[in-house]
Amino acid sequence: MVVTKTIQVETRGYTDFVDITRQVSDAVAAAKLSCGIAVVFCPGSTGAITAMEFEDGAVADVRRALEEMAPESGDYLHHLRWGDDNGHSHVRAALLGPSLAVPVVQGSLQLGAWQHIVLIDCDTRPRSRRLLVQVVGE
């Protein structure tokens, strides 16, 4: 069986981190599958999904690492083509990836003790993100 749900998330942009674990867990529970896999996907090229410990220090560390790898003030050819300011946003999202797969056992996400599912909005403005959660299993 395949069940697809959507999650709507409002973000602040500027590498905003949003814990979406509860919404994904609710989507898995609503699917009423006992065993399978849940995939969370962020349509769009400036949003990313990851799993991490969601606490202020870890968030700051990841934000700093992203700034070092793809600095906001860098020169990006994307700016020249489209005349916008979010070349670094596209690079950051591409490095992190748009999706995450999590096993489901006995109807529950199999996350580690401190692990959360996190949306990272890398864009340079607030956005309304529509995420897809697809649960596949039995």
Does the pLDDT at position 132 exceed 90?
Answer: yes
Please report the pLDDT score of residue 82 as a whole number.
Answer: 82
Please report the pLDDT score of residue 81 as a whole number.
Answer: 82
- pTM confidence score: 0.96
**From CA 138, how far away is CA 136, in angstroms rounded?**
7
Q: How confident is the model at residue 28 (pLDDT cuts 50, 70, 90)?
A: very high
**From CA 127, how far away is CA 112, in angstroms rounded?**
29
Tell me what percent of the residues of the chain surpass a pLDDT of 70.
Answer: 100
DSSP state at residue 32 = T
Average pLDDT estimate for 31-39 = 96
Q: Which residues of 101-122 are buried (b: 16+ CB within 10 A; e: fewer)?
A: ebebeebebeeeeeebbbbbbb
Q: Compute the mean pLDDT over every residue in the chain, rounded to the nearest whole number.
A: 97
**Chain segment 109-122, per-residue pLDDT in tens:** 999 999 999 999 99
Domain coverage including residue 106: 2-137
How many domains is the chain built from?
1
Which pair of structure tokens corresponds to residue 48? Answer: 């990313």
**Chain segment 44-101, per-residue pLDDT in tens:** 999 999 999 999 999 999 999 999 999 999 999 998 888 889 999 999 999 999 999 9
Which pair of structure tokens corresponds to residue 83? Answer: 């005349």
CATH of the domain at 109: 2.60.120.460
Q: Which residues of 13-41 are buried (b: 16+ CB within 10 A; e: fewer)?
A: eebbbbebbebbbebbeebebeebbbbbb
